[in-house]
Amino acid sequence: VKQIVQCVPNFSEGRRKDVIDSIVAAMSGTPGAQVLDTQSDPDHNRSVVTLVGAPQPVMGAVFHGIAKAAELIDMRHHRGTHPRMGAADVVPLVPVRNVTLDDCAALARQLGDRVGTELGIPVYLYESAAIRPDRRNLADIRRGEYEGLSKEIATDPDRFPDFGPPSMGAAGATAIGARFPLVAFNVYLNTSDIATAKTIARAVRYSSGGLRCVKALGMLVEGQAQVSMNLTNYRVTPIHRALELIRAEADRLGVTVTRSEVVGLVPAEALLDAAKFYLQLHDFHPDQVLENRLTDDGSDDE
């Protein structure tokens, strides 16, 4: 059975095109791993690359990217509005198909070991790959950013890395972790009143009493109120549940949903779950999706 993982490394360079291209090139051309997307933000001075493929090829490709970033980015001169502590700043591994979150955590630790040992970069394991509970949250690891961590890494035992040396070079430190696929899901309302969007966002998000795996903000996009969400685990909090709660709250406030959008990529399963919910397909099995029955070579060996 073919395994597929996704890796979304964040690099601390969003302005110099030649540097970004070199890092992406270092991750391309590994058979079995595929660069799907690169997005660079000059203000953040940061690029986010999406890699997918079989576990070991993806691990090899992202290692080459981390090495190239360490070679070309000097964190002592890096400026940008996004928090950061390393040239390869954050490297999450994400399960896509026939892979568990635990599998991805094991891969993250394997990659962390290699980055620490072979590249001499301090590595912190985060989220589901964390081996210290105080390192599950990325923000806690990145506290003080490159400059603050440089001062404390050698002397504060709480800041010793999980792999690699307790000292910061020009490449800084890298957080490597495992997490579930994020779904960026936005819902537009038939109003230009941002307060309405903020009220609904408060109702739906976990931090103020809403759904377990929803982060939400109310904002105004081209004059239209929008509830902007990150669904951090669509298996626990599915898309349709977030939308139905928004529809109920919108109704109470006398507004309606005009449309919604998924930003970027979404696993097929998250949308099939929505179809199952709305069509009341209670006993539907993923094997009934024709494409899920195709083996990669079309042969009969499944």
231: left (phi over 0), alpha (psi -120 to 50) or beta: beta
> In angstroms, rounded to a whole number, what is the distance separating the alpha carbons of residues 34 and 32?
7
For the CB of residue 81, give the shortest distance to its own copies in the complex, in Å.
Answer: 27
> In angstroms, rounded to a whole number, what is the distance separating the alpha carbons of residues 241 and 211?
9
For the CB of residue 46, give the shortest distance to its own copies in the complex, in Å.
Answer: 22
Instruction: Give the binding site for its own copies (CB under 8 A).
Output: 4, 6, 28-29, 31-36, 52-54, 57, 96-97, 181, 239-240, 243, 257-262, 264-268, 271-272, 274-284, 288-300, 302
Q: Which is nearer to its own copies, 111 or 187 (CB)?
A: 187
Q: Annotated catalytic residue: which of 64, 77, 78, 82?
A: 82
Selection from 183, 174, 253 nearest residue 216 by Cα: 183
Q: Which is nearer to its own copies, 147 or 261 (CB)?
A: 261
Q: Which is nearer to its own copies, 30 or 174 (CB)?
A: 30
Produce one character per residue of 227-248: b if its CB has 16 or more CB atoms within 10 Å, e if not. Answer: bbbbbbbbeebbbbbbbebbee
For the CB of residue 195, give the shortest distance to its own copies in the complex, in Å.
Answer: 22
**For residue 179, with 0-12 CB atoms within 10 Å meaning exposed, 13-18 middle and 19 or more buried, which class applies?**
buried
> In angstroms, rounded to a whole number, what is the distance separating the alpha carbons of residues 49 and 295?
28
For the CB of residue 156, give the shortest distance to its own copies in the complex, in Å.
Answer: 40
Selection from 53, 57, 101, 72 nearest residue 12 by Cα: 72
Helix (H, G, I), strand (E, B) or coil at 149: helix
Residues 6+ apart with CB under 8 A from 283: none
Q: Which is nearer to its own copies, 208 or 295 (CB)?
A: 295
Q: Is 82 a catalytic residue?
A: yes
For the CB of residue 263, give the shortest distance to its own copies in the complex, in Å.
Answer: 9
Q: What is the largest CA-CA distance in the chain?
A: 59
Q: Which is nearer to its own copies, 3 or 140 (CB)?
A: 3
Residues designated as active site:
82
